[in-house]
Structure 1
Amino acid sequence: MVNKATILKNKIIENKTIEIMGAHNGLSAKMVEKHGFDGIWASGFEISASYGKPDANILTMSEFVHAAKQITEASSLPVIADCDTGFGDLNNVNRMINEYEQIGVAGVCIEDKVFPKTNSYIPGRQKLENIDLFCEKLYAAQNAKKNPDFMVIARTEALIAGQGIDEALKRAHAYIKCGADMILIHSKQETPDEIFDFCKLWNSSAPIAVVPTSYPTVTIKDLERNNINMVIYANQGLRAAIQAVDNTLRQLKQSRCLESIIPQLTSMKEIFELQGMNEMISLESKIKDEVSSIRLTMK
């Protein structure tokens, strides 16, 4: 059987931009698979928010691994785990790779900010890690993995920190030489211009990933024209869900009658399907029938 890391690697080398969608638990992973995305981003932002905590290295590695395990088990899609700064130094990264490989994740992404990191869209607080120290983490990650197809993605926050394209390129080239399989170049500008400028100057065969949260008008065709291999929709599912739940609860509190929110509710039938309830009942019936047949032959 082809493992998920190999599936992801094969998708990346195809001549197109693959689409990865954020998730934070098993149910959201099933929703991603239902709509035909290429893979799942076990989003640090979404997972932190699901715990009601800031995206600022508040949760432990164990909590992130637990969430990634739910996501991986719920879907046949390859999963990339957002691992923030790697949960510590190179020794922590070494353990991190072992933990995530064991649960069937296809790859991990670590970013070059100083622990504790803060979400990239928070003004200030975006201090970059020393290049040599981050390279040590990447080298440790590459040496720790057992499956050669398991992806180690290096995310540079040089543009987020306002240090410019030259610094981003310097860091990205160093990261590839020291063990990264892919570069995630991040920007919070309202247009993709600086991302595309980076891509034009990128003289490596290593693949590129982007997260267009702040420049939502960009299209897949735009990304393909700029030789971007992966786009990550990192948080839109959670944001849509929060808005929908907030509106529904507000309406229910005002009306105090369930009938007023019926049009906004997913049917129980659809949830049963997502949960695997119908599959469970079918399996139960199959086992009971087969055991009954066996018992009849024994009489």
Structure 2
Amino acid sequence: MKHRSVREVGPDRGVKTLPADILRSQICSNDDLSFLMEVHDGLSGAIAQRVGFKALWASGLSIASSLGYRDANEASWSQLVDVVERIVDSTELPVLVDGDSGFGNFNNARLLARKLRQRGAAGLAMQDSCFPKMNSFVGERHAIADIKEFSGRLRAVRDTVGQDLVLVARIEALIAGRPMEEAVSRAHAYANAGADAILIHSRKSTAEEILEFASAWQNRLPIVIIPTKYYQTPVSAYRDARISTVIWANHSMRAAIVAMRRVCGRIMAREGIASIEPHIATLDEVFNLLGYDELVRAEARYLPPDDKK
């Protein structure tokens, strides 16, 4: 299928910047670190935009969890795409989507990419795991794909969507206990297959192997990291290593679990809501966050006036 050009013409015949252009400028062209905030629905996306983040990470773990599934490909690709559409519609920020392993072989991966482009996503991150995948931090069984086979998945995505999606190749070699040399070898292969950036993942509690990879890789493509486990490493270390992008990958979802559990518990214990009202968002905050004022203005413009006589 022929893909759209990277830039498209708007109704006024001017050039319109596509989400992939914006995301690419942050991940691939910045001299300083970029930060992507995890989101898992339209509400979390709106909050991340409101506090000042410039790009979003549609987390597979967080989306699956919000749907009541485990992060083991229990949620389908179509459910993922539907959630991404709501995130895109609720914000003005580019969204990099955690596409797991592409939900199958090259054909599944290119179908996913095509649908994400249609729904307005800016980028797709795919990991070199076998389908179905298991969350990187669960258990010890982490089968990874043959390098040539996964490179084929990447090429299929690139051939399908061109430059309309930023393509991030996520390497799980260190998660699977493979040597650093293999991680670097995979990065070279994935760069040749058309990746825009390399996401190197680790389950260690320090950033030692991430920084070792960055030193060996020598910035041939931008490096993206997810410091969920090595969270005590100062951000300055990533700048010094010339890492491009940091993803805060699951923190909105985890914060929501704590907050909801606390509120539900207090309501259950006290059989009332008076004590928790000062500690939760007001309805006015909800209405403001989701733009109810625009709806009121639109009603005044488009609906006939009420006849109260």
Q: TM-score per shorter chain, which class?
A: over 0.9
The AA in structure 1 aligned to 2:186 is R
**For 1:170 and 1:204, how far apart are their aligned partners in 2?**
14
How far has the Cα of 1:286 moved from its partner?
3.8
**For 2:58 and 2:175, how far apart are their aligned partners in 1?**
21
How far has the Cα of 1:193 moved from its partner?
1.0
Q: Name which of 63, 74, 78 aligns with 1:47.
A: 63
The AA in structure 1 aligned to 2:108 is N
Q: Name which of 105, 114, 130 aligns with 1:114.
A: 130
Cross-structure match for 2:6: none
* CA contact 1:9–1:149 (8 Å) conserved in 2: no
The AA in structure 2 aligned to 1:233 is W
**For 2:54 and 2:236, how far apart are their aligned partners in 1?**
16
Establish whether residue 3 from structure 1 lines up as the match of residue 3 from structure 2.
no
Cross-structure match for 2:300: 285
**For 2:270 and 2:140, how far apart are their aligned partners in 1?**
43
Bigger helix fraction: 1
Establish whether residue 19 from structure 1 lines up as the match of residue 35 from structure 2.
yes
- Kindly report which structure 2 residues correspond to 1:1-299, keeping only aligned pairs within 5 A, or say none: 1-12=16-27, 13-146=29-162, 148-287=163-302
Cross-structure match for 2:5: none
The AA in structure 2 aligned to 1:162 is G
Q: How many residues align?
A: 289
**Deviation string, structure 1 residues 72-130 (Cα, Å, up to 9, x no partner):** 11110000111101011111112111111111111101101111110001021211111
TM-score (norm 2): 0.91
How far has the Cα of 1:149 moved from its partner?
4.9
**For 2:139 and 2:108, how far apart are their aligned partners in 1?**
28
The AA in structure 1 aligned to 2:80 is F
**For 1:64 and 1:108, how far apart are their aligned partners in 2?**
12
* CA contact 1:24–1:46 (8 Å) conserved in 2: yes
**For 1:125 and 1:119, how far apart are their aligned partners in 2?**
10
How far has the Cα of 1:263 moved from its partner?
2.2
The AA in structure 2 aligned to 1:274 is L
Larger deviation: 199-208 or 97-106?
A: 199-208
The AA in structure 1 aligned to 2:157 is A
How far has the Cα of 1:221 moved from its partner?
2.2
Aligned residues: percent identity?
35
3-state DSSP of counterpart to 2:184: helix
Cross-structure match for 1:295: none
Runs (4+) off by over 3 Å: none
**For 2:166 and 2:74, how far apart are their aligned partners in 1?**
25
3-state DSSP of counterpart to 1:227: coil
Structure 2 stretches lacking a partner, 5+ long:
1-15
TM-score (norm 1): 0.93
Structure 1 stretches lacking a partner, 5+ long:
293-299
In angstroms, what is the RMSD of aligned CA positions? 1.3
**For 1:3 and 1:275, how far apart are their aligned partners in 2?**
23
